[in-house]
Amino acid sequence: MTSNVNTTYIVTISCPNRPGIVAGISHGLAELGANITEAQQFDETESRRFFMRIVFDIPQGATDRPVLENEFSRLAREFSMAWSLTTTSVRPKVLILVSRFDHCLVDLLYRWRIGELAIDPVGIISNHPREIYRHLDLDGIPFHYLPITPATKPEQEARIIRIMEESDAELVVLARYMQILSNELSRKLSGRCINIHHSFLPGFKGARPYHQAFARGVKLIGATAHYVTSDLDEGPIIEQDVERISHADTPDDLVRKGRDIERRVLARAVRYHIERRAIMNGHKTIVFTS
């Protein structure tokens, strides 16, 4: 019996801007029987590059993936185009790294359980033992306790890489993982690792950021999610948010409000990544928000 279920694809592209790109892609998809259901594009004048995200349906049995890949390879040659193709049914495998503060971890797991984040958590790595999180139901997700000291850092990071490879993790999320990744690991994870920073960058860096903010009498606090690079906290920014505070707020109030911001900013950044809405563009990102 033939199924009438469509396959939904997402394709993202970036290339030097020139006339005819949209027409060429639309014509190629139409020739293959595709129905475009969503399309977003952006022409960045500074770099003269063109970015696009397209969602399209293919009737079951009409065109298979190799044919689609051949078509985009042809378009890539014509337009000097970088492209990525995936189906919406694919749930990216995600490895989550966390330290003592677990609010972002808890939030990600909750959104995963209720179906808000279409991910497949394949492991949790922490530099603290499982007992720290004994109140959490990890729902069978493998937990890896990897203690770290300056002397054991290379060995610990080698184990992180090994766990990634063994679990086929496509994305690493630093959910308040309070360890600085080495340049080597950062380069290896380029474009595949998202960090949440407890500041609306640029801002108060280092220890006790909310206490620093309190001492300066700030009126806004925020959080920043960005791709990890070898430049500490300088990677391409995916998402940011802020919340207004007042002179009546204590440092504990700032911490409480800051945790809320961190949770929602990280969740949005992860969703933008897995839905192929974030495209790296040098030191910046193009984010086609929903």
> Would you list the domain boundaries of the chain?
6-87, 93-287
Please report how the helices 209-216 and 251-274 are oriented relative to each other, as an axis angle in degrees rounded to 10.
120
The pairing of beta strand 93-98 with beta strand 171-174: parallel
Q: Which has more confidence, 215 or 164?
A: 164
**Mean pLDDT of all residues belonging to the chain:** 92
Place of tokens 């298979």: 64
Question: What CATH number matches the domain at 6-87, 2.40.50.140, 3.30.70.260, 3.40.50.300, 3.20.20.70?
Answer: 3.30.70.260
Residue 32 has pLDDT above 50, yes or no: yes
* CATH superfamily ID and name for 93-287: Formyl transferase, N-terminal domain (3.40.50.170)
Selected catalytic residue, list 64, 120, 231, 233: 233
| pLDDT given for residue 2 in this prediction | 44
Residue 1 has pLDDT above 60, yes or no: no
- Shortest CA distance to 227 belongs to which of 163, 164, 283, 158? 283
Under DSSP, the state recorded for 45 is T
- Please name the residues in contact with 273: beta carbons below 8 A apart, sequence gap of 6 or more: 171, 194, 238
Task: With residue 196 as reference, give the H or E element that holds it.
Answer: strand 193-197
| pLDDT given for residue 199 in this prediction | 74
233 tagged catalytic: yes
Place of tokens 């397209």: 54
How far is residue 23's CA from residue 58's CA, in Å, rounded to a whole number?
19
Tell me the average pLDDT across 98-118: 96
Tell me the average pLDDT across 152-178: 96
Alpha-carbon distances, residue 272 vs 194, 265, 285 (angstroms): 11, 11, 11
Task: With residue 162 as reference, give the H or E element that holds it.
Answer: helix 153-167
Q: What is the pLDDT of residues 219-240, one digit of tens each?
A: 888 899 999 988 767 789 999 9
Q: What is the pLDDT of residues 174-205, one digit of tens each?
A: 999 999 999 999 999 999 999 998 876 456 66
Residues recorded for the chain: 290
Burial of 231 from C-beta contacts in 10 A (0-12 / 13-18 / 19+): exposed
How far is residue 88's CA from residue 86's CA, in Å, rounded to a whole number?
7
How far is residue 162's CA from residue 110's CA, in Å, rounded to a whole number?
27
| pLDDT given for residue 207 in this prediction | 76
Query: Secondary structure of the chain: what % helix, strand, coil (to 5)?
Result: 30, 30, 40
In the chain, % of residues over pLDDT 70: 96
* 9-13, 28-32, 88-92, 202-206: least confidently modelled range: 202-206
Q: What angle do CA 249, 253, 255 make, to 5 degrees?
A: 130
